[in-house]
Amino acid sequence: MSIVEHPAKAIYLANRNARMTRDQFRERWLTHSRVGEVLTGGPQPIAGLRYCLTVDPTDILPGASNEHDGVGLLALRSVVSIPTMHAVLTRNDVAFADELRTFERAVEDVTVYAASELELEGPETDVVVIEYARRREAIDAVEHLRAIERKPEDDALLEAGVRRWVRNVAVGAPARGFGYDAVTELWFDSLDQVADAAPVLQAFFDRRSAHTERRASFFMVTTVVNKLGRTRP
């Protein structure tokens, strides 16, 4: 595959402005997406977007984080589109002002740019377990990348109901203090299926702990509340 064809994403961690509840944030986030559609202009680096809102994981997936409000998955046309996408995030003052009304921090400060790879091809559903992983200090990026490739023992995830599995590997320099190495998407048909798969998911994350710094990593249970554009890895 040519680099100009390799799928990529801009993935941002969404935390709401402190003046809003999570339900209020959901509606404000949807409004913010329309601002972006109107203001972007010029060449379009974004092929599609998915807004994934966090749900309380207490009775679904023990160990999952409820600290963050959601994740924006912005599918880009290719890895080559990343500089254009970065310009979209940083050079539009009107969109930036709307970000500050919507989020706790500017989106550019909490974005991971990544090359995307399908570990399991399947349909996008309405429920996604998303892991943000940071490698251990003693592990270099290449070793970590190899360690989180799909292994035969990971096939238990398929038996537990995973429909689609995407590995997003960070490329380029991260925002200061936001140095995650990979963002993994595990798509399920329902929250009930995630709850049933909880022991398998926990074992999956535990297997990665030899290379992933668990104290600096986290995973979330989310539901898709906004979907625009075509499906991309």
Q: CATH number of the domain at 8-228, please?
A: 3.30.70.100
Burial of 189 (0-12, 13-18, 19+ CB in 10 A): middle
Q: CA-CA distance, 233 to 220, in Å (whole number)? A: 19
Q: Which residue has the higher pLDDT, 230 or 118?
A: 118
Contacts of residue 37, defined as CB under 8 A and 6 or more positions apart, other chains included, come to none
The pLDDT assigned to 36 comes to 56
Tens of pLDDT, residue by residue over 117-137, are 999 999 999 999 999 999 999
Return the structure tokens found at 118.
């399908």
Q: CA-CA distance, 147 to 215, in Å (whole number)? A: 18
Res 138 pLDDT > 60 = yes
Residue spans of the domains in the chain: they are 8-228
Res 2 pLDDT > 80 = no
CB 190 within 8 A of CB 99: no
